Amino acid sequence: MSFILLGILNSQAAAVSALAGYFAGGPSSSTVDKFAFPSDTRSTLGTGLSGNRRLMANMSDPSVAGYTAGGIDFVAVTTVDKFAFPADTRTTLATGISSARYALLGMSNWGVAGYAGGGFAGPASTVDKFAFPSDSRSTLGTGLSGSATGSVNGMSNSGVAGYRLGGTQGDETTRVDTVDKFAFPSDSRSTLASGLSASRFHVAGMSNSGTAGYAGGGFETGNVSTVDKFAFPSDSRSTLGTGLSSARRVAKGVADYEVAGYVGGGNATGAVTTVDKFAFPSDTRSTLGTGLSAAREVGAGFENSGA
């Protein structure tokens, strides 16, 4: 009996030790950096993305796998890479997104489905849905609001809804403050009465599922450090008194459920290695002593969180 108990405890300890956030890709990069929770120690996966890519969608099914979808290096792709937890082994799905595009958003309903929406090449309002665990793809009847939507990112309240954060409409420069909400499991879309605090694109999204979602940084008339917070389930918006440690765009967010959210990389006056950490629920910010393994505009972020 004691051996059985010890085995259970060991398996639980292994599961906890596997918790981590991942920052993947960037311009001419296939690198995947892994930050172990809660120590925030960084390692770099021996096997990165299946090709150099940036501006991807990211999806997470904690304890199972993380995904990167679409993106661009020299050309836009339909590729979806899957990293199985806890080994972090990579495969590439036989069925990718429904059209080659980049600068698209990702949302996740853990254990149920991941979503990749919008993008350029393109541009498109299409939202593709990948059912877990089969990874079979369908396309939602209702896509993002607006006929042409790119430079978007997303956040998720697992089991409840996924959100689109800002972006551009019609071309790559017309900024919007729009926040679309896709209710799980019906995938019906509404648009929040209060969007972002200003029109901007390339915003980093992260979530403390069940509590709040966050939209950090991005580009308005220049880069900003603003972090907007949307309280769940009311979706009421406030803006944190302390934003990112520097104004930047094209960063990505990951989160350790109920513990902290992280915004990594991006472009300030150039690419950065910075990883900012926001402790939940106080939202106090610190900056990790060890950032990304190289300065880059991060392509995607996914997590194996404590949910």
pLDDT in tens, 178-225: 999 999 999 999 999 999 999 999 999 999 999 999 999 999 999 999
User: What mean pLDDT do residues 150-154 have?
Assistant: 94
Per-residue pLDDT of 3-25, as tens digits, reads 444 443 343 444 445 899 999 99
Predicted local distance difference test score (pLDDT) of residue 169? 86
pLDDT in tens, 106-137: 999 999 999 999 999 867 899 999 999 999 99
For residue 123, the model assigns a pLDDT of: 73
Of 225, 255, 16, the residue nearest 156 (C-alpha): 255
Q: Please report the domains of the chain, with CATH numbers, ordered by start residue.
A: 20-304 (2.120.10.80)
